[in-house]
A and B are shown apart, each in its own frame.
Chain A
Amino acid sequence: MQKTVRKKANSGFFANLWKHRAHVVMALPAFLVLLFIMYVPMIGLTLAFKKYDYSAGLFGSPWVNFDNFKFLIASKGEFFLMTKNTLMYYVIFTLVGTILNVAIAIGIDQLVFKRMAKTMQTLMIIPVFISYAAVQFIVFAFLDRNTGMINNVFGTNYRFYAKAGLQYWPLILTVVKVWKDTGYGSVLYMSVLSGIDTSLYEAADIDGANKFQQIRHITIPSLIPMVTVMLLLSVGNLMHSDTGLFYQVTRNIGQLYDATEVIDSYVLNSILNSGNFGYTAAASLFQSVVGLLLMLFANWMVRRIEPENALF
């Protein structure tokens, strides 16, 4: 009985597919790109359990079970360090970034000089469009030992691009990240703010609420859904960093790795310098699996709090 029911459903499915064949055709190109660019490479992660042999290729390389992971954990230093850095910068960037994005959005929204606000916003967004390959030169102009503006203005002699400058890099990277992304990051929040019903403010005004009270009780609560969504989206990328920031802006200087190496820059270095692909794949798999779990967790959390903000 059940079999016939399923069969019927199936034939219905194929009839439906045929009826919508135009939609299948239209979805096909992007489907194929996703398949070959995103899905097939997933097979490459099996390398995490293999010892990569250039001549034998992906399938021909011998299995080594968990040896690569054992090595990663045994070589505590580097793996631990890059994981720590990845997490640390995620926390700093997300915290500082979210607060500033929201603050700038509210600030611009509250400003009565609308024309000026618009111009300032336009200027603020520009850095997001500059590649890290170019940003690197801008940062250099500030930090270089001889020609850098910081050393010249303060009459100091800091060597930022050497071991002696290690301690400054968390701050430097945060400042660069804030400089690059805040203007653009605030646009999304501004779009929410411009959607708030103005009668709410008017009512609050009549009730004698001052500006700060209005912001606290009207503006901020209305931003919470968007903040939740953006945080959720970012949690899934927790294990991924802005590779350009850590690879280009730091000029990939080995002496700075203690403060600047993240999993993504380690992987990139490994590919470019033909490092051990087995270990690298193990690190990648670790990165992907943890990322997946975090994303599922975050989505589940949001689903419980605000179902309509959940991603899936």
Chain B
Amino acid sequence: MQKTAVQQPPKKLSMHEHKKIGPGQIILLFLIMLFTIFCFAPVLLVFISAFTEETWINSNGFTFFPGTHWSMNGMNSVLRYGSQLLQSYLVTIGITVVGTFFGLLIMSMYAYSISRPGFRFARFLSVFVLIPMLFNGGQLSGYIVFTSWYGLKDSLLLLILPLCVTTMNVIILRTYIANSIPGELMEAATIDGAGDYRTFFQITLPLLKPSLAAVGFMMATAYWNDWQNAQLYITTNAKKPLQLLLINIQKSIEFLLNNNNVPASVRAAMGGTIPQYSSTMATVVVVIAPIMIVYPFFQKYFVKGLTVGSVKG
């Protein structure tokens, strides 16, 4: 599998330069463009509806072309969630940053250790990290053990720990260390008197950057988008991440749709109005925008840093 590693220099463009642009190219461009629109249009729709007048959506439905019916009301009503939104943002950013950095550190140390030549225990450690991918207890067992044995209820640890070490990520890091970082470099460091820790932190870790960027970004996305652990474990408002806020919004809409006579006190608690189409979409914008802004900066690492290897060896 190591041979799938991308170490070859990027393909030279010269291969295409002498070709003239035939009808095949135009058809291909058209097809891929069509697929791109299919992928991106729904995302665009979120942004458009977030800034469309509520009454317009109510009477005409969601549309890409709301004409002149733009409005900031949706965004304003999201800001009305005010402190809860801010709090959820802080929770999400907190678990994303802490989880990603902590996970990257302990996984790369693990990957480094199991790729050391002559370290006999590495075999066991390789198998140890592989098994959870083959067999695991599933959500229910996790739920029971975490809540009743560890006594972790409503704890942010349950948003961080379950996602911070994954078999695939350890394998990716290990493959990168084995294939793309020359072993002689680390040997040389040892000969020069650098201890094991120093070799790792000053030689291996800096060279591991492309892989760390790719894995780290995927981890950050996983943390940012994790709704399942939040829904299972988090009950206090102060600890609710953004995704749980989104889910609660949907639940409250459903509740209000199914109950025509909602008491005024409940309405007041929800900020005076029932969350509506445009404000829901505005919330979605608030939740997804940060990733969309950061992602292009990490895209170049995807191919370079995400090569999967095998754990054998």
Question: Could you tell me which A residues sit within 8 Å of B by CB distance?
Answer: 13, 16-17, 20, 22-24, 26-27, 29-31, 33-34, 36-45, 47, 57-58, 104, 107-108, 110-114, 116-117, 120, 122-134, 136-138, 141-142, 144, 146-149, 151-152, 179, 182-183, 187-188, 190-192, 194-198, 201-202, 211, 225-226, 229, 233, 236, 243-244, 248, 251, 264, 267-268, 270-272, 277, 280-281, 284-285, 287-289, 291-292, 295-296, 308-312
Contacts and interface: CB of A to CB of B under 8 A. Distances in A.
Interface centre among A16, A37, A111, A243 (most CB of B within 10 A): A37
Contacts of A310: 1, 310, 312
A23 B197 CA distance: 8
A154 B122 CA distance: 61
A16 B118 contact: yes
A20 B28 contact: no
Contact of B227 (A110, A244, A281, A308): A244
A126 B114 CA distance: 34
Contact of B1 (A149, A229, A264): A229
6 contacts: A30-B165, A45-B141, A125-B299, A137-B281, A191-B306, A309-B1
A168 B109 CA distance: 48
B4 A225 contact: yes
Nearest to B110: A30
Interface stretch (B43-51, B68-76, B77-85): B43-51
Contacts of B310: 308-312
A268 B227 contact: no
| Residues of A contacting B: mostly | helix
A152 B227 contact: no
Nearest to B292: A126
Given A17-B121, A34-B165, A308-B1, A138 B227 contact: no
Interface residues of B, number: 117
Contact of B136 (A42, A111, A270): A42
Interface in B243-257: 243, 246-247, 250, 254
Contacts, number: 330
Nearest to B42: A138
A211 B28 CA distance: 12
B29 A33 contact: no
Interface stretch (B57-65, B176-184, B260-268): B57-65
A26 B109 contact: yes
B39 A33 contact: no
Interface string B11-36: 11101100101001100110111011
B201 to A, nearest CB: 10
Interface in B148-187: 148-150, 161-162, 164-165, 170
B140 A267 contact: yes
A23 B116 contact: yes
Contacts of B130: 311-312
Contact of A16 (B121, B132, B197, B254): B121
A137 B254 CA distance: 13
Contacts of A226: 4
A124 B139 contact: no
A110 B15 CA distance: 11
Given A24-B121, A34-B128, A58-B145, 20 more contacts: A29-B105, A38-B137, A43-B137, A44-B144, A45-B138, A113-B25, A116-B29, A126-B39, A131-B287, A133-B246, A137-B246, A138-B42, A138-B46, A141-B62, A191-B306, A194-B303, A195-B6, A264-B139, A267-B138, A268-B232
B165 A33 contact: yes
B125 A31 contact: yes
B303 A13 contact: no
B196 A23 contact: yes
B12 A126 contact: no
Contact of A152 (B60, B232, B311): B60
Contacts of A17: 120-121
A277 B139 CA distance: 11
A39 B1 contact: no
B60 to A, nearest CB: 7
B21 A22 contact: no
Nearest to B130: A312
B281 to A, nearest CB: 7
Given A47-B140, A124-B35, A16 B120 contact: yes
Contacts of B277: 141, 147
A157 to B, nearest CB: 12
Interface string B106-120: 110110111010111
